Structures are given as structure tokens and as C-alpha cells.
Amino acid sequence: MRDDGVSLDETMREMGERARLAARQLAVAEPAAKSAALRAMADAVERDAEAILDANRADVADAQASDASKAMIDRLTLDAGRVSAIAGALREVADLPDPVGTVASEWTRPNGLVIRRVRTPLGVVGVIYESRPNVTADAGALCLKAGNAVILRGGSDSSRSSAAIHAALVHGLEAAGLPRDAIQLVPTRDRAAVGAMLTGLGGSIDVIVPRGGRSLVERVQREARVPVFAHLEGLCHVYVDRSADAAMARRIVVNAKMRRTGICGAAETLLIDRSAPELVAPLLSDLAAAGCEVRASDEVRALFTPALPATEEDFRTEYLDAVISVALVDGVDGAIAHIERYSSHHTEAVIAEDQAVADRFMRHVDSAILLHNASTQFADGGEFGFGGEIGIATGKMHARGPVGIEQLTTFNYRVSGTGQTRP
């Protein structure tokens, strides 16, 4: 790409300008055109499944040759099932209601002015991700549905797979008469392209969404000069109150920790009411039986001897693995204090039959998602009914929790008068 003498910065800036122009067309595109594009994308993904799988096999071969981790190769690898899941997800987004132009609220002033708050697209979204090729389709689809242009920068290890999927997306855009620049894929593996995106490409990018590991998100949050929708980690807590239904607590704790240990909504720390010591052994033996390593404070270990000792560091660690830290706390206020000190404010759950305890937990814990008598693994845009998510945000600005289509829009005020002038 730089052989023709065009610098990376110029190339990126031009991508930004093309995205900005495409965004202006998308902002007023008919909902039917966006849905038609998404369905045509799904058809193209299925039609080109073999080409996508060939490209993916080449990526996987390179990854294996470079001794990539088993987990990374699993995230990278596509098969027929995963490809048809990509097509299915595109059709699901096509079927979702279109947010653009919907009236979020409406009121009439005493002087007769009718004020409507109307959803509008954000503009241009930059998505920076790593090895999962399906993010190319998921992020492209959600941004398009919200009327945004998107600039995608996938991981170099999945570049062939992402390019093959991107070709199908562009086919769908053109089939529906929408600008191909609505979904652009950065065509270089040059890491400097990420730095250029983080500066906003001279005002062309409105928000950056990083999808990947801690080191990527840290870099984005440190360097970005535009807003970022992200979470650094999901250090999620489950508090079991003395009033909990013991059987329910056991089911929820095992599910919150062990259903999938690698997702951001997985529980990492279990807090148990000090006044309910009888809950400790059943909860921890269930976890151990499910294959979870238990690291606990001394008073917990006195009640469940198989537990290993937990250090201060354990309560600050997002394991993303079959390991859990456990401590006793003085009721709900003790749980609130522990969470305030250690949590990443992503997702926390309280297990209690006492509604006053649940209400106090919900009111005092300042995290994006709070659950009462349910598993933290529900922290997911699909589970919230958002029709997928582009990520989960722990920031407080604009988007918080699952970032779905609605969070990819902004709004403006449209005021209808009958000649009013201001006194």
C-alpha cells in the first residue's frame, strides 16, 4: 500500500473522509435499504462460504506456524457452522427495528412549541479488534443499522478471513444501492494504522470501539483522542446474603463462574455473608466439583479446608479461568464496601430473598449492570434483547453496559412552532 508513495497517514485520512461522506448518505438512508443490504450480505456470506473458509485456513496455518496460543487459534478458526452463524446474525440485525428517526421523547411547551428528541446516527465508528473474524460482520452490521459508517481494523492474524467477509459485506451494500464506503476495512497490517484511528483521522471518527484483550483496550484508552466505548476488564462479584435461597445461590454461583470462564461477565469473586457460615461449604464444594480452583481468605478456609489461600492480589485479578476468590463480608454493606474497593464496575450480582437487601445493593453499587437472583453471565447485549452488542462499556458517558444499536446513535431536538418568537 505504501509502495505507490502514498503515506499511511494520507491513506487513513482519505478513508476517514470517504467514511464521513458515506455517513451523510447513511444518515438519511431508508430503513428498507439498510435491511436489504444486511440480507444481501448474509446471502453473499453463504454464497462465498468456501472462499471465506479458504482464507481462514490460510490465516490459521500462519497462526499455527507462529506458535499462537490454542485459545487464539480457537478464536480465529471458522468452520461451516460459524460461517452460517455469521449469516444468521446479519439477518437478525436486518430484522431489528431501525432506530434512526425514532422519537425518544416528545413534549409541548406552554407557548405551543412541540419539542421532539429524535434519534440520529453518531456518524463514523472506528472498530479495532483482534483475532475473531466474525467481528467484521457483527460490527459492520450494527453500525450500518444505526446509520453509521464504520472503519474496521482487524487483527493481522485474521486479515485474510476479515477481507473475505468484508468483500461479502461490500457486495451487500452495493446490491442495496448504499455506498461501499459505509463499511471500510483498513487494508494494512501496519500497527501505525491503529494510532491514526485513535487520533480520529482529523475529526472523521466520532467514537472508537476496541474489541480485544486488556493490552489493546489499555492502549486505546490511553491514546484515543476521541470517545471510547470499552471496558478494561470484568472483575465481577457475586454476593450471597444470609437471606439467600441456598439452592438458588448454589446454582447461580456455579453458573456465574463456570458456564464460560473466559467472558467478561464471568464471576471472579464470591462474597458470602459472614453471618451465614453454613452457606460456605455447599457453595465452595459445588465450585470445586465443577472443576473450579478456590482461593479464599483464612476464615473461609477454616470452613472449607480444600481452598487455597487468597492474597490481596487475588481480589484484584480477573482470572478469565476456572479460578475464584472468596471472602466473607459483613452483610450487604460489607459487600458494597468490598465491591467499591475492588470492582471494575462492570457487573455484580446479589443473591437474597430479602428485598430490602437487594434494593440496597442495587442503589449503592455503582456498576454498569446489577443483577438480583440471576447469573452474572447474563451481562450480554443479546441477553438484554439489544439484538447483539458491539461491546460492553464501563464508562459513564453516553453508553454504559451492553453497547447495542441504540447506543450507537445520538439525538437532536426538533422543535415545531407556529411562528413563535421569544419575548
Of 73-81, 161-169, 303-311, 398-406: span binding a second copy (CB under 8 A):
398-406
Q: Does 419 bind a second copy (CB under 8 A)?
A: yes
d(CA 251, CA 351) in angstroms, rounded, equals 11
Among 64, 69, 311, 420, binds a second copy (CB under 8 A): 420
Residues 6+ apart with CB under 8 A from 332: 239, 241, 273, 350, 352, 357, 360, 361
Q: Does 417 bind a second copy (CB under 8 A)?
A: yes
Q: Does 385 bind a second copy (CB under 8 A)?
A: yes
Element containing residue 348 per DSSP (H, E) = strand 347-351
How far are the Cα atoms of 21, 153, 256 from residue 17, in angstroms, in the given order?
6, 16, 44
Among 31, 227, 277, 282, binds a second copy (CB under 8 A): 227
Q: Does 311 bind a second copy (CB under 8 A)?
A: no
> What's the first-to-final CA gap in the chain, in angstroms?
60
Residues 6+ apart with CB under 8 A from 229: 207, 208, 209, 390, 391, 393, 395, 398, 399, 403, 407
Q: Please say which residue, 334 or 411, places its beta carbon nearer to a second copy.
A: 411
Contact 331, 274 (CB under 8 A): yes
Q: Which residue has the cell 436486518?
A: 94
Contact 133, 78 (CB under 8 A): yes
Angle at 162 between CA 137 and CA 179, to 5 degrees: 60
Q: How many CB atoms lie within 10 A of CB 118?
A: 16
Q: Does 418 bind a second copy (CB under 8 A)?
A: yes
Q: Does 370 bind a second copy (CB under 8 A)?
A: yes
| In the complex, minimum distance from the CB of residue 411 to a second copy, in angstroms, rounded to a whole number | 6
Of 120-128, 159-167, 299-307, 313-321: span binding a second copy (CB under 8 A):
120-128
Q: Does 213 bind a second copy (CB under 8 A)?
A: no
Q: Please say which residue, 138 or 380, places its beta carbon nearer to a second copy.
A: 380
Q: List binders of a second copy among 236-295 (CB under 8 A).
A: 245, 248, 251-252, 254-256, 259
Among 6, 10, 14, 28, binds a second copy (CB under 8 A): 28
Q: Does 403 bind a second copy (CB under 8 A)?
A: no
Q: Interface residues with a second copy (CB under 8 A)?
A: 24, 27-28, 101, 107, 109, 113, 115, 118, 120, 122-123, 206-207, 227, 245, 248, 251-252, 254-256, 259, 340, 358, 362-364, 366-375, 377-378, 383-385, 396-398, 400-401, 410-422
